[in-house]
Amino acid sequence: MNLTVNGISHEVDVEDDMPLLWVLRDELGVTGVKYGCGVAQCGACTVHVDGQAVRSCQLRIGDLEGEVTTIEGLGTPDAMHAVQAAWAEQQVAQCGYCQSGQIMQAAALLELNDDPSDAEIDAVMSGNLCRCGTYPRIRAAVKTAAKNLREA
Residue 23 domain boundaries: 2-74
114 plus 90 within the same structural domain: yes
Give pTM, 2 decimals: 0.96
Mean pLDDT of the chain: 97
Is 7 found in the same domain as 55?
Answer: yes
SS3 48: strand
pLDDT tens digits, 84-111: 999 999 999 999 999 999 999 999 999 9
pLDDT at residue 77 tops 90: no
Q: Does 146 lie in the same domain as 97?
A: yes
Residue 69 sits in the same domain as residue 87:
no
Same domain, 92 and 49: no
Check whether residue 123 and residue 107 sit in a common domain.
Answer: yes
Angle at 8 between CA 7 and CA 10, to 5 degrees: 140
Question: What does the pLDDT look like over 113-141, one tens digit per residue?
Answer: 999 999 999 999 999 999 999 999 999 99
Domain count, the chain: 2
CATH of the domain at 91: 1.10.150.120
